[in-house]
Amino acid sequence: MGNDLLMLALSARYHQRVLYYVVMATVGSLLGCLATDWISRKTERGQKKFLSGKHLEYIRNLVEKHAGWTLVVASLMPPPFPFTAFVAAAAAFRYPRTKLLSFVAAGRFLRFAIEAALATHYGRWIIKQAESPLFDHVMIALIVISMGGSAFAIYQWFDVASGKPGARPSVVA
C-alpha cells in the first residue's frame, strides 16, 4: 500500500516523471515478492503441516495449472487484497521463480500504470480535497477504527491462545 500511495502522490504532482515512478514501484514490488519467494521456498515443510494431503494436492494442482493467470490477476488487485499469500503459495510449490516474477511484473506494471494515469488526470483535485479539514477528521476516524479493530483482533488471538471455552482455533486442518 505504501508503494501505491507514494506513486500516486508523486504522479499527481510531477506528471513528467510518471513512467519512472511506475517502473520504480514495480521494481519495489518485485523485490518484496523475491523476499517472499525465498522465505516460502525455505519453509515449505512448515506449510505442509497445516494442510491435509487432499487439500495439499488440490492447491498444488491449482498452482501448477493456473499459477500464471492467478498471479497476474492477484497482482492487479489493490490493497488490502492478500497478494502475498498467492506469491507464497506459488513459491512453496516450487513454481519457477523467473515465471513467478515475470507474471507479477506484468500485473504490477499494469496496475501501477493505471493508477498513475488516474493520478495524473484526477490528482490535483484529490490533493486539493486531501488538504481540507474534513479529510483530517476522516483520517483520524479511520485510524481510531483501525486501532480498535487491531485491539479486538489481538484480544481474540490471546483468548484463543489461552484455550478458554468457546475460543475458535486459528487453523483448521
Q: Kindly write down the DSSP assignment for every residue of 54-73, as one continuous string.
A: HHHHHHHHHHHHHHHHHHHH
CB 115 within 8 A of CB 77: no
Q: Return the higher-pLDDT residue of 66 and 23.
A: 23
- Cα three-residue angle 92-98-100, rounded to 5 degrees: 50
CA–CA separation, 29 vs 105, rounded Å?
Answer: 8
The pTM is what?
0.67
Locate 8 and state its grid cell: 500516486
Q: With 90 as the cut, is the pLDDT of residue 37 above it? A: no
Tens of pLDDT along 72-125?
A: 988 998 878 888 888 888 888 888 999 999 999 999 999 999 999 998 988 778
Question: pLDDT at position 166, please?
Answer: 52
- pLDDT-derived band at 68 (thresholds 50, 70, 90) equals confident
- Of 118, 138, 108, nearest to 3 (Cα)? 108
Tens of pLDDT along 138-151?
A: 999 999 999 999 98
Query: What are the sequence ranges of the domains in the chain?
Result: 2-131, 132-173
Please list the alpha-helical segments (H only) found in the chain. 2-13, 18-42, 44-48, 53-76, 83-92, 97-130, 133-162
CA–CA separation, 122 vs 118, rounded Å?
Answer: 6
- Of 124, 90, 88, nearest to 11 (Cα)? 124
